[in-house]
Amino acid sequence: MCGISGIYHFQKTQNSAELVKKMNAAMAHRGPDNDGIFENDKIVLGHRRLSIIDLSKEANQPMSDNSERYTIVFNGEIYNFQSLKNQLPNYRFKTHSDSEVILALYMEYGSKCVDYLDGMFAFAVWDKSEQTLFLVRDRFGKKPLYYHFNGEHFIFASEIRALLASGLVSRKISKAAVIDFLRYQTVHAPNTLVEDIKMLMPGHTIMIKGAKIEFNKYWSVDKVKIDISRYTDLKNIQKNVKELLYASVEKRMLSDVPFGAFLSGGIDSSAVVGIMSQISNHKIRTFSVTFNEEKYSEARFARQIAQQFNTEHTEIKLTPDDFLTLLPEAMQAMDRPCGDGANTYVVSKVTKDKGVTMALSGLGGDEIFAGYDVFKRLTQSEKYKSLSKMPRFVKKGFANGLTRFKPGIGSRKIAEILKLNSWNLPDTYPVSRLIFMDFELNKLLKNNELTNNSNTMILSELDLDSFPFLSQISFAEISTYMQNVLLLDADQMSMASSLEIRVPFLDYQLAEYVFNVPDKFKYPTSPKKLLVDSLGFLPDEIVNRPKMGFSFPWEQWIRNELYEFCDSQIQELSKQAIFNSNEILAVWKRFLAHDKSVNWARIWLLVSLQHYISFNKLEF
């Protein structure tokens, strides 16, 4: 796991080595083990290394092949690199690293090399002979890759802060991105909060030659259709799911450094830990964060799984004072503003402090196996979508009555769905994930001309109809919330502590198989039943426990221990030119008065946005 950077000049080199050094320095946390620079003709490449596979100095980057024609900078892990290595007998390997395997694969297959890679990755390859720069991002977008280009140069890096450090990118905020952020607690790729910085989409590549830049999509969640006749026998489906998940976990346990697993005691993390324990000859190290606030603490569930699988379990108890101590670090670690990324920062930091450099996570289990409540709600909505044809005044009456007699954010979302002309998935899903709704944004913003809804646009580009309905929801979750919130939070906040997170549920072969499983097998009676029944070892107490999710007691902390910090940030945000000051402050006052229509997520979103703007010296 590492940080990569580079500057490519369309005309001639312009003393860019010093700029790339600054970009590397801005990402030092991503790679404390080595700092490297490569310069040739029009290109300068930079690399920060966190050593996981092949710890020798020969595996440092930038890395060139034996002929020195090709040079790579690589961030990520390739899990099948050893089998790929065996398929490349004509290349004389000088390291045991996966980076060199990518180089050899690129020499053999060119841009088609991505089809052979199994892992999480973002990398760039420079071909000195052809004068081409090839960049790629993995299928699900586990590893980020940001870029900026104009008529003079193309700049790329693993983090936005590195591009800003180059001094070649304007620090201007995109107003459209602010609207997207307030709607969904993120800015959806390819856009970012900074107007002149873009993000390479998951499953995409870029090829640059001369001044020509060519984008290409090599994989998408909705393009893998499998013969439905393979999915008629439930026992066979369960067998295949089990084999694919065990294989996914096993290949992610390959490491030359100490590793462990996050364990919340939920279905997903318990499944990963159970499989790891069965595969490994050694005790698995597990980590869970606990709180004094009992309703937020999952300690007893995590403890039960740790005892069942005899793990070396560490409970890390956090108090508000502990969190307040870590909060400044967490806020400064944000490479983009986020809703609850501080959670991931804290658990990553304390895990790293225990001597672990790599950890497996249960992230992705809900998206792949239909675990979120949204799967149930949207399935019910689909069954009754004929009611959307009711007269508009009737639907509006129901909506108004609901919000009046049952105030709250959930009721407001249902009311918004009731008002829609259609209850098809591309219409209802975007409402389900909203933080601030459009009528609220019209009050908060001085300019009432809202941009198009990013989730609606993303769903319109997916081929949904040929897949089971639950998989359609999975595609929506993966292409919006998971890729643009969860995975970005996991990357930026774990790498801030030089910790690598691996996610077995997002193995593309497992996902492709599960996407084609009929709904009746995936979710016949309860969430993630296919996963639970396929494994067969999760106790009922874990399976049937209330779903909590990994969260801190934000509601309580913001009103008490974090009050002064939050108040100062919101006061500053209210002064920004695009906002109606009184409306921003009114939202804060309503939260403090326990208004059920304003939850902690909305407040922290505003706090996070202002802190990011001021810390990075951004301007409208």
Catalytic sites, residue numbers? 2
Cis peptide before 190 (omega within 30 of 0): yes
User: Tokens standing for 315?
Assistant: 């409970």
User: Amino acid letter at 360?
Assistant: L
Q: How many CB atoms within 10 Å of residue 412?
A: 21
Sign of the torsion angle spanned by Cα atoms 502, 508, 513, 517:
positive
User: Amino acid letter at 252?
Assistant: R
Closest CA to 99 of 81, 120, 126: 81
Q: Which residues contact 392 (CB under 8 A, 6 or more apart)?
A: 419
To 10 degrees, the CA torsion angle through 472, 270, 249, 140? Answer: 30
Burial 8-26 (b: 16+ CB within 10 A, else e): bbbeebeebeebbbebbeb
Q: How far apart are CA 620 and CA 609, in angstroms?
A: 13
DSSP annotation of 563 reads H
Distances from the Cα of 58 to the Cα of 20, 21, 52, 381, 492, angstroms: 22, 21, 13, 57, 27
Q: How far apart are CA 598 and CA 600, in angstroms?
A: 7
User: Tokens standing for 242?
Assistant: 């089990």
User: How many residues does the structure list for the chain?
Assistant: 620
To 10 degrees, the CA torsion angle through 493, 494, 495, 501? Answer: -140
**What's the distance, CA 435 to chain centroid?**
18
Which segments of 453-575 are extended strands (E)? 500-502
Mapped to the 3 state alphabet, what secondary structure does 352-403 carry? HHCCCCEEECCCCHHHHHCCCHHHHHHHHHHHCHHHHHCCHHHHHHHHHHHH
Q: Please give the full DSSP string across 541-555, using - where no structure is assigned.
A: HHHTSPP--S---HH
Burial of 589 (0-12, 13-18, 19+ CB in 10 A): exposed
Q: How many CB atoms within 10 Å of residue 405?
A: 8
Mapped to the 3 state alphabet, what secondary structure does 3-27 carry? EEEEEEECCCCCCCHHHHHHHHHHC
At 43 the three-state DSSP class reads strand
**What's the distance, CA 558 to chain centroid?**
25
Strands 312-318 and 285-291: parallel
User: Tokens standing for 263?
Assistant: 């364990």
